[in-house]
Amino acid sequence: MQELTDEQWMQRALEQARHGLGLTSPNPPVGAVIVRNNQVLGEGFHEKAGEAHAERRAIADAYARGNGHLLPGSTIYITLEPCSSVGRTGACTTAIIEEKIGRVVYGSTDPDMRHQGRADALLEAAGVSVCPGVLKDACDRFLRSWFHAVMTGRPWVTAKVATTLDGRMTRRQKFWLSGVDTLRYAHQLRLESDAILIGGNTLRTDDPALTIRTPLQTPSPRKKQPWRIVLTSNLLSLPPQARLFTDEYHKRTLVWEDVKDFRVLLNELYTRYGIVNLMLECGGRLLRRFLEDGLVNEWMQSISPMIGAGPDYVVPGDFLPDEFIFQREELIECGRDIIIRGIL
Amino acid sequence: MQELTDEQWMQRALEQARHGLGLTSPNPPVGAVIVRNNQVLGEGFHEKAGEAHAERRAIADAYARGNGHLLPGSTIYITLEPCSSVGRTGACTTAIIEEKIGRVVYGSTDPDMRHQGRADALLEAAGVSVCPGVLKDACDRFLRSWFHAVMTGRPWVTAKVATTLDGRMTRRQKFWLSGVDTLRYAHQLRLESDAILIGGNTLRTDDPALTIRTPLQTPSPRKKQPWRIVLTSNLLSLPPQARLFTDEYHKRTLVWEDVKDFRVLLNELYTRYGIVNLMLECGGRLLRRFLEDGLVNEWMQSISPMIGAGPDYVVPGDFLPDEFIFQREELIECGRDIIIRGIL
């Protein structure tokens, strides 16, 4: 077999990391692969805050496969700089040194000041060779919502909107706008989110479940339903029989009344609930407020092939104080709909 | 050389026909290729109403190439059933029979009752073998605007709209919505149109030229600038110094005041001006009227990567009486914009 490059092994570590998407908050999804003589000794990903990091999962996997004796002198590929401080699970640098792994290759640099750059020094002092920044752009991109949360203290906010060609959000007789393929895509997004936010109006009108039902990929058995967050100007206006208050996940529903400062709210969602990825599924008026406050990071819009449907617009009203320029990252033909995704 | 199939030769005839796009109204753009022993003897396309049809152009081309003596027994591929009635240029069936062409292969059937099906009988009576319906779908699709005009007495109407992601048609300070690539695409559409329609409001606000300036393909030297049609509720409100009234093409500007019945107007555009392809470049209110009357056949929307720009919507107001379901035919990434094109 042809020898794989560092980049190719890092790609495999990224694939491991993807298994942790939506599971690890407030921690980042990280993947690791341990390699020796072009053979995988073990691999793993971080699955849940409070449990083993990807590095320790990969080491455990190597032992489970009977490869423990091959670890000394091997190379570990990690999507993120290994942690060097003792948290709930022990510093990963310690595990690497103890196992006498010979070389550490990582992608992103830890934005957490407690860790940043410390791993390199610790590892090199122990005689481990360190190669940072391999596939850095891809790893950074993959971790961008977590970077954002660590650096701002607020979740990465994705606005999910479904419109007609002429920018409406409703249809007559409450027909669905989106086709089945688009709905599956939306459920996949929920799977990768920690929380979904709506307004009281959406709760009263649609009585949504906001659960993950038909995603594109089978969810991990460990995936919890996302938090369901309701913002309302009047708590008493919310119907107590609504699904969010009565279904089996009702403990995952949080309600805020009359929020004045969305930044404070978002900070609370991150620090108190560990929410890193927040998806807005609210109507136009609430979305407009998030936009006006400059709090929307990502935009996912499905456009359905209709013209002249309902009166509700994505962003109602006159000019926003600032026009947002959208940087397109994906354009997907999704059945009869199209999906545009990018950052603001 | 491998022998080409009837379908492949018809594809070549369609390529010829494309050269006539935007030139031939009220006639259809038609292409023809004459073939013998897998060799092209001559080919041509209809270029202008009142001039030779594609069949006669191809025959003339065969003579010009010194292939006239090879015509007897050859096969002619024509995108549309040849005409059998003597118009300004003589029936094409006569020319085919005179040249002793042995086989006629055509794509679409003529919707004009004067011609329909007559060609087959005339040609077969003269000993010419006839094969209709080759690449019929592609030929019908190519000729659909002309079919529509012949059958309804009205031009095929394409609504061209440029929006932001949230369905707005304007930006602050009158910045352009569309990127340069999209503008070139729009000019290409103008090249394929016989007329462009706007409202008095667009005339006053934008003072547009509505000329073909930067299309994707170099226009034929025979392409005239499209008719520029202005609908206004008040003739006196139009500024006489506007470009449409003062530029070198001012004779190609037509103004209607206070049109009550858009069907009557469209019929006049077809019967009096020979307009087969009409493009709407009007604002939302006028577009809404065309939609309400069910007169829009095709929809071409460019979506620019902005959110929260101007207050003008593509289709302002509440529900349309009928919701239009759009059938997407093209989705193009056009620089930073996307273009969606299809029929209603």
- B223-232 per-position pLDDT tens digit: 889 999 999 9
Mean pLDDT confidence for A27-50: 95
Q: Does B336 touch chain A (CB under 8 A)?
A: yes
Q: How far is CA B160 from the centre of its chain?
A: 14
Of the given ranges (A330-339, B107-116, B278-287), which has the lowest mean pLDDT? B107-116
Contact A291 B311 (CB under 8 A): no
Q: Does B326 touch chain A (CB under 8 A)?
A: yes
For residue B162, the chain A residue with the least C-alpha distance is A166
Q: Note the pLDDT of residue B33.
A: 98
Question: CA A279 to CA B269: how far, in whole Å?
Answer: 51
Q: Note the pLDDT of residue B42.
A: 96
Q: What does pLDDT average to over chain A?
A: 90
Question: CA B289 to CA A308: how far, in whole Å?
Answer: 12
- Say if residue A88's pLDDT is above 80: no
Q: Which of A158, A160, A163, A165 to mutate to test the interface with B (most CBs of B within 10 A)?
A: A165
Mean pLDDT confidence for A18-36: 95
- Say if residue A22's pLDDT is above 80: yes
DSSP code of residue A5: P
For residue B266, give every residue at least 6 positions away whose Cβ sits within 8 Å of its Cβ, in sequence order, or none: B154, B155, B157, B278, B295
Q: Note the pLDDT of residue B87.
A: 67
Q: Note the pLDDT of residue A311.
A: 67
Contact A311 B301 (CB under 8 A): no
Residues of A in contact with B339 (CB under 8 A): none
Q: Which of B157, B166, B303 to mutate to test the interface with A (most CBs of A within 10 A)?
A: B166
Q: Does A343 touch chain B (CB under 8 A)?
A: no
Contact B166 A310 (CB under 8 A): no
pLDDT by residue (tens digit) across A90-135? Answer: 788 899 999 999 999 999 998 877 667 788 988 999 999 999 999 9
Q: Note the pLDDT of residue A172.
A: 65
pLDDT by residue (tens digit) across B71-100? Answer: 999 999 999 999 887 666 678 889 999 999
Residues of B in contact with A297 (CB under 8 A): none
Is A55 considered catalytic here? Answer: yes
Q: Does A328 touch chain B (CB under 8 A)?
A: yes
Residues of B in contact with A303 (CB under 8 A): 303, 340
- Say if residue A269's pLDDT is above 90: yes
pLDDT by residue (tens digit) across A132-146? Answer: 999 999 999 999 999
Q: What phi-psi label fits residue B291: left (phi over 0), alpha (psi between -120 and 50 degrees) or beta?
A: alpha
Q: Does B173 touch chain A (CB under 8 A)?
A: no
For residue A301, the chain B residue with the least C-alpha distance is B165
- Say if residue A86's pLDDT is above 70: no
Q: Note the pLDDT of residue B275.
A: 97
Find the radius of gyration of the CA atoms of chain B: 22
For residue A175, the chain B residue with the least C-alpha distance is B323
Helix (H) or strand (E) holding A187: helix A180-191
Contact B326 A342 (CB under 8 A): no
Q: What is the pTM of this model?
A: 0.85
Angle at B217 between CA B213 and CA B218, to 5 degrees: 65
Question: CA B131 to CA B111: how far, in whole Å?
Answer: 17
Closest CB to A171 among B163, B315, B323: B323
Find the radius of gyration of the CA atoms of chain A: 22
Mean pLDDT confidence for A286-301: 92
Active-site residue, from B55, B99, B192, B298: B55
Q: So what's the ipTM on this one?
A: 0.80
Angstrom distances, CA of residue B165 to CA of A55, A241, A324, B119, B176: 42, 36, 10, 51, 14
Question: CA B214 to CA B219: how far, in whole Å?
Answer: 10
Q: Does B172 touch chain A (CB under 8 A)?
A: yes
pLDDT by residue (tens digit) across B121-143? Answer: 889 999 999 999 999 999 999 99
Closest CB to B338 among A309, A317, A331: A331
Q: Which residue has the higher pLDDT, B88 or A11?
A: A11
Question: CA A120 to CA A81: how far, in whole Å?
Answer: 8
pLDDT over 90 for what percent of chain B?
A: 66
Give the minimum alpha-carbon distance from A315 to chain B in angstroms, rounded to a whole number: 6
Q: Note the pLDDT of residue B326.
A: 84
Contact A166 B163 (CB under 8 A): yes
Active-site residue, from A43, A55, A81, A192: A55
Q: Note the pLDDT of residue A318.
A: 65
Question: CA A282 to CA B102: how far, in whole Å?
Answer: 68
The alpha helices in B34-168, defined as continuous H runs, are 54-64, 92-98, 118-125, 136-142, 144-152
Q: Which residue has the higher pLDDT, B319 or A194?
A: A194
Mean pLDDT confidence for B155-183: 84
For residue A141, give every residue at least 6 positions away whose Cβ sits within 8 Å of its Cβ, in sequence order, or none: none
- Residue B173 — very low, low, confident or very high, per pLDDT cuts 50/70/90? low
- Residue A178 — very low, low, confident or very high, per pLDDT cuts 50/70/90? confident
Q: Does A173 touch chain B (CB under 8 A)?
A: no
pLDDT by residue (tens digit) across B180-202? Answer: 889 889 998 999 999 999 999 99
Question: Are the C-beta atoms of residues A229 and A54 closer than 8 Å to each other?
Answer: no
Helix (H) or strand (E) holding A8: helix A6-18
Residues of B in contact with A166 (CB under 8 A): 163, 167, 313-315
Q: Please list, residue by residue across A308-318, b when 16 or more beta carbons sit within 10 angstroms of its beta carbon and e when fewer do.
A: bbbeebbbeee
Q: Note the pLDDT of residue B269.
A: 97
Residues of B in contact with A323 (CB under 8 A): 171-172, 306-309
* Selected residues 264-303 of chain A with any CB under 8 Å from a CB in chain B: 288, 291, 299, 301, 303
Give the minimum alpha-carbon distance from B300 to chain A in angstroms, rounded to a whole number: 10
Residues of B in contact with A301 (CB under 8 A): 165
Mean pLDDT confidence for B213-224: 82
